[in-house]
Structure 1
């Protein structure tokens, strides 16, 4: 894996007591709840986002989540995923998180939004209305060790195979998002890469 993770100094960018934005299935705001509470039990539906970062040759950045993560620690996932904060648009949050997690500043392109619920044993769950973005950058990636254990760029074809042959290594949301990107939004990815 090609890793550049600064283990000496890293900002803490996720907090159990940060308020998440609770929504209904139509994305109407219902209120706020602390992150730890929103992920307890079967989870409470909240806004979230996922970003797939590509480099100029078309490889996609995959990250291994830090073991300290409450849900799916140590699993491989997409480039960046998180939650918007109060008063932030989803695109603003996506750009912020790209910088906080992997040290990359890039524009993001929104693809689609979907709802899912995934249970992580008796520890908790994700129940998210998730906006999916893509971005492109050749800037050096510097993983925040509070969020990321490892990362690697993969060709789309290699990721296709990995998700089929080793699905248990990956987070549930990436297994939902990547096939949909490949099936319905790949021309948007190609357009972004051809800039």
Structure 2
């Protein structure tokens, strides 16, 4: 797959492409991204600890899968592809909402993304790729909310933002009967 990301304006209109690493250096350049929240039939969420080799937020906990579509690839195609590549599973994703965020990681770089938030449901066994994911855990909504307030548990900034909005604007997003 391409190592390029799709540069966008605030309305998600493509304005170019850029090398993924370059797009994350300095203050970052606004680009298209997605986050998948994977939920099992018991309503538990798969969270992943980002691998130690990640440029930004290594070792931090986040949602099941987050990445970038390649030029010419739709968000749903990219999300399905990355679920297979990172976690070894197939699952249909459903779009919930999009938001723009900007988060700096020290002096190393930043995420400046127009992020499309998706939800998927699966009970399949998960086989994480170690270059991307160092650990996985299935947590229910209450466990996640409790851990988010523990200062010693590091979570990515986008996950924190997404979780708050999911709880307030999509309160039944993890109800198994409502899943894809």
Following the alignment from structure 1 to structure 2, what is the Cα–Cα distance between the partners of residues 172 and 33? 23
Alignment-derived partner of residue 76 in structure 1:
61
Long gaps (5+) in structure 1: 1-12
Whether contact under 8 Å (1:167, 1:175) holds in the other structure is no
Say whether 1:105 aligns with 2:114.
no
Say whether 1:33 aligns with 2:18.
yes
- Kindly report which structure 2 residues correspond to 1:114-133, keeping only aligned pairs within 5 A, or say none: 114-133=99-118
- Kindly report which structure 2 residues correspond to 1:1-195, keeping only aligned pairs within 5 A, or say none: 18-166=3-151, 169-190=154-175, 192-193=177-178
Whether contact under 8 Å (2:120, 2:179) holds in the other structure is no
Whether contact under 8 Å (1:58, 1:193) holds in the other structure is no
TM-align CA RMSD:
1.6
Cα deviation code 1:79-110 (max 9, x no counterpart): 00000001110011011111110011010010
Deviates more, 1:137-146 or 1:184-193: 184-193
Whether contact under 8 Å (1:136, 1:193) holds in the other structure is no
Give 3-state SS (helix, strand or coil) of 2:33's partner: strand
Q: CA deviation at 1:193?
A: 4.8
- The TM-score with structure 1 as length reference comes to 0.88
Paired residues in the alignment total 180
Segments of 4+ moved more than 4 angstroms = 191-195
Cα deviation code 1:23-77 (max 9, x no counterpart): 0000010000001110000000000000010010000000000000000011111
- The TM-score with structure 2 as length reference comes to 0.95
Long gaps (5+) in structure 2: none
Whether contact under 8 Å (2:41, 2:176) holds in the other structure is no
